[in-house]
Amino acid sequence: MKIVCVADHFMKEEFYRDCMAKFPGIELVSVPYFGSDSRNEMRAMADRIEKVGSRSYPAPAELYAAIKDADILMVHLCPVPRELLEAAPNLKYILTNRGGLENIDLEAAHELGIPVLYNPAHNGNAVAELTICLMICETRNVARAHYALKKGEWRESYPNVGRVFELRNKTIGLVGFGTIGRLVSEKLQPFNVRILATDPNVSPDDPDLAKWNVSLVDPDTLFSESDIVSVHARTLTKERIIGKHELDLMKPTATFINTARAYLVDYDYLAEVLREQRITGAALEVFPHEPLGLDSPFVNLDNVTLTNHRGGDTVNCYSDSPEYLIRAMLELIENGKRPKFYIE
């Protein structure tokens, strides 16, 4: 089988070549490059791709030539429009090293009978680790203390004075119990916390609920009972699922964390709630407009920890993904085992 892989600033050519060296039955034909060499420019491109889709940018010209005889196309951020798929008469699989599918014309792939294997777990561990980090950093004032000390200030007073608690015995509410929500649950086990989750796509008999001592509850229960609410959902239709109703249910001592997607949350109302200290604090990794500007209300709030959408940006999450996808594809071909993340 012949494969064409598209590299970019994050998914490097060497990751593909190291992976394919383990699979002698797969011939790596070409590794075209998509996008910019600049991290900042590539971040902006990724944001546009998520909003605009498969026609946000043209695919590399050399990809059209390379893909003519390919059986497999593997991409990361590179757009995959209809005309690219129509230029590949032998294409049998599209493999994408992302959880998001915005860069792929799924309708065209379906019409042409080309299944798509994707990998929302590729950065799952990285995001889950950052989530635990933010829970501690925000509730224990790590970033605020660091900033004060860098300015020569030994700071003793914070917005959450008298409300600084350990995670132990607290209730953590997870909005979304997919790949990352489950990883967060696993990593919370040593902290001796109560874990709640709400997810319309999860059955009460899902074995991972019992495995990680998670109670599946309705959204109102989660928001009203949690000491920390952490968002791990994603919706293809990009609808808002957290607004005034949900935020007003939170306890004054509670903390809100979002490492998922900004469109899920009414950020304007969240800023108001934080400004009025109706909840204790928040930690935000994602924003409606990125890069975050100085006009953002969160920049001047003292009860919020901000990170710049780097939760999934580790070497491992990129370098390990191609092998995962190839093995999932081979399991399908050789054993008929349908991959977990698979669209026909």
Just give the CATH number of 2-122+314-343: 3.40.50.720
Distance CA 292, CA 343 (A): 34
Residue corresponding to tokens 């580790």:
314
Question: 3-class DSSP state for residue 199?
Answer: coil
Taking alpha carbons only, the member of 321, 311, 259, 328 closest to residue 11 is: 321
- How distant, in Å, are the alpha carbons of 76, 277, 285 from that of 243? 32, 16, 18
Task: Indicate the helix (H) or strand (E) that contains 130.
Answer: helix 124-139
pLDDT at 40: 87
Topology alike, domains 2-122+314-343 and 124-306 = yes
Just give the CATH number of 124-306: 3.40.50.720
Cα-Cα-Cα-Cα torsion 260, 262, 268, 273, nearest 10 degrees, comes to 0
pLDDT at 340: 87
Q: How many CB atoms lie within 10 A of CB 249?
A: 17
β-bridge pairing 116-118 and 93-96: parallel
Report CA torsion sign: 167, 195, 251, 303: positive
The string of DSSP letters for 60-114 reads PHHHHHHGGG-SEEEESS--B-HHHHHT-TT--EEEESSS--TTB-HHHHHHTT-
pLDDT at 333: 97
Catalytic residues: 261, 290, 309
Predicted confidence pLDDT, tens digits, the chain (344 residues): 999 999 999 999 999 999 999 999 999 999 999 999 998 899 899 989 988 999 999 999 999 999 999 999 999 999 999 999 999 999 999 999 998 899 999 999 999 999 999 998 888 999 999 999 999 999 999 999 999 999 999 999 999 999 999 999 999 999 999 999 999 999 999 999 999 999 999 999 999 999 999 999 999 999 999 999 999 998 878 899 999 999 999 999 999 999 999 999 999 999 999 999 999 999 999 999 988 999 999 999 999 999 999 888 888 889 999 999 999 999 999 999 999 899 99
Total length of the chain: 344
Burial class (CB in 10 A: 0-12, 13-18, 19+), 264: buried
Output 241-247 pairs: Cβ under 8 A, ≥24 positions apart: 241/175, 241/265, 242/175, 242/266, 243/269, 244/269, 246/219, 246/220, 247/223, 247/273, 247/278, 247/279
Domain ranges across the chain: 2-122+314-343, 124-306
Residue 208 and residue 214 in contact, taking contact as beta carbons nearer than 8 Å? yes
pLDDT at 122: 85
Crossing angle, helix 179-188 and helix 124-139, to 10 degrees?
50
The model's pTM: 0.82
